[in-house]
Amino acid sequence: MSTFQAPKGTYDLLPPESAAFLAVRDALAAPLRTSGYGYIETPGFENVELFARGVGESTDIVTKEMYAFETKGGDRIALRPEGTAGTLRATLEANLHRQGNLPVKLWYSGSYYRYEAPQKGRYRHFSQIGAEAIGTEDPALDAELILLADRAYRSLGLRGFRILLNSLGDQECRPLYREALQTFLRGLDLDEETLRRAEINPLRVLDDKRADVRRQLTGAPLLQDYLCAACKTYHEEVRALLTAEDVAFEDDPKLVRGLDYYTRTTFEFVHDGLGAQSAVGGGGRYDGLSEMIGGPSLPSVGWALGVDRTVLALEAEGITLDLPPATSVFAVPLGDEARRVLFTKVNELRRAGVAADFSYGGKGLKGAMKNAHRSGARYALVAGERDLVEGVVQLKDMESGEQTAVALDRITAEVTSRL
pLDDT tens-place string over residues 347-398: 999 999 999 999 998 788 899 899 999 999 999 999 999 999 999 999 999 9
Q: Is 257 annotated as a binding residue?
A: yes
Residue 56 pLDDT level (bands cut at 50, 70, 90): low
Q: Is 38 annotated as a binding residue?
A: no
pLDDT in tens, 2-43: 789 999 989 899 988 899 999 999 999 999 999 999 999 999
Sorted by where each starts, the structural domains of the chain and their CATH numbers stand as 17-173+227-316 (3.30.930.10), 329-418 (3.40.50.800)
Q: Give the DSSP per-residue string, 254-288.
A: T---SSTT-EEEEEEEEEGGGTT--EEEEEEE-TT
Residue 95 pLDDT level (bands cut at 50, 70, 90): very high
Q: Is 82 annotated as a binding residue?
A: yes
Q: Is 376 annotated as a binding residue?
A: no
Distances (CA, A) of 122 to 114, 115, 186: 9, 10, 31
Between CA 280 and CA 197 the distance in angstroms is 26
pLDDT in tens, 191-245: 888 888 888 878 878 877 788 888 888 888 888 899 999 999 999 999 999 999 9
Q: What global pTM score does this model have?
A: 0.88
Q: Is 83 annotated as a binding residue?
A: yes
The dihedral sign for the CA sequence 95, 97, 101, 106: positive
Q: Is 159 annotated as a binding residue?
A: no
Query: What pLDDT, on the 0 to 100 scale, is given for residue 316?
Result: 94
Q: Is 128 annotated as a binding residue?
A: yes
Residue 288 contacts residue 261 (beta carbons within 8 Å): yes
C-alpha 255, offset from chain centre? 21
pLDDT in tens, 257-269: 766 678 899 999 9
CA atoms within 13 A on the CB side of 201: 18
Span 317-332, average pLDDT: 92
Residue 57 pLDDT level (bands cut at 50, 70, 90): low
Distances (CA, A) of 229 to 119, 175, 234, 239: 42, 15, 9, 15
- pLDDT averaged over every residue in the chain: 91
Nearest alpha carbon to residue 387 among 355, 411, 357, 356: 411
Between CA 110 and CA 97 the distance in angstroms is 23
150: which residues sit within 8 A by CB, 6+ positions away?
A: 163, 247
